[in-house]
Amino acid sequence: MNKLILSTAALALTAGFAMADTVRLGTEGAYPPYNFIDDSGEVAGFEREVGDEVCARAELDCEWVTNEWDSIIPNLVSGNYDVIIAGMSITDERDEVIDFTQNYTQPDPSGYLAASADADIEGGVLAAQTGTIQAAFIASSGATLVEFATPEETISAVKNGEADAVLADDAYLRPIASEDDALLMLEKTELLGGGVGLGVRESDGELKAKLDAAIQSMKDDGSLNELLAKWEIGPGF
């Protein structure tokens, strides 16, 4: 009897430990509306709300960390944080290095932001952020690619004439185009990537399963669609 009580106590203790597991979420913090730093210096945006909700449903204790986009995958695999939540589209190349959960946005068409409507996107100079699906797309097209470390710099490149247009997620470019008279969205769009998913280490199967289940439950009860509509990120599920 005593032994039974002891082992239940031990079980309860280990369960307690499992509950207190902290999962660190790594994001870029420079890509509104997906993720950005708000006025009070906190991570905010669509992914902040999705991430917090996913953590609540998966009963994980989550902590937000910002990391430069360039080194966001190396820092995940070396264990500095456990999840990438940074508007990262699911692609085969990335899937070789890390694992993705199911997508929590539909494949969002990428748009062109240019200074004039007749910008040459076939053979001109196009700007994109390094290591994005858009950069890979331009590199394989006929246009010349110029890469920048941050999204902000790609916009500047168009404004100062260094590039003819910038290719990025539609949801990122639209608010910028609507507030800057000198910039406009081109009609042409490109459908790239398989939607945005959470990136986890390939060895972290347990965490991936938990996150997958949480995303699925958000899809099922429509709360994910509400967030997608609130932050104006592509179509719902």
The binding site for other proteins (CB under 8 A) comprises: 20-24, 29-30, 32-33, 36-42, 44-45, 61, 63, 65-68, 71, 74-75, 77-80, 82, 97-98, 150, 152, 155-156, 159, 175-176, 178-180, 201-204
What's the rounded Cα separation, in Å, for the pair 61 and 226? 23
Of 76 and 135, nearer to other proteins (C-beta) is: 76
Q: Could you give the residue ranges of the DSSP H alpha helices within 58-132?
A: 72-77, 92-97
What's the rounded Cα separation, in Å, for the pair 140 and 8? 60
For residue 21, the minimal CB distance to other proteins (Å) is 7
Q: At what angle do helices 46-57 and 223-230 cross, to 10 degrees?
A: 160
For residue 166, the minimal CB distance to other proteins (Å) is 13
Q: How far is CA 192 from CA 4, 111, 138, 145, 169, in A?
A: 57, 10, 11, 16, 9
For residue 175, the minimal CB distance to other proteins (Å) is 4
Q: CB-side exposure of 134: number of CA atoms within 13 Å?
A: 30
For residue 220, the minimal CB distance to other proteins (Å) is 29
Of 32 and 87, nearer to other proteins (C-beta) is: 32
Name the 3-class secondary structure at 156.
helix
105 within 8 A of 113, measured Cβ to Cβ: no
For residue 20, the minimal CB distance to other proteins (Å) is 6
For residue 129, the minimal CB distance to other proteins (Å) is 13
Of 43 and 192, nearer to other proteins (C-beta) is: 43
Q: CB-side exposure of 1: number of CA atoms within 13 Å?
A: 0
Of 25 and 143, nearer to other proteins (C-beta) is: 25
Of 184 and 219, nearer to other proteins (C-beta) is: 184
Q: At what angle do helices 205-220 and 223-230 cross, to 10 degrees?
A: 80
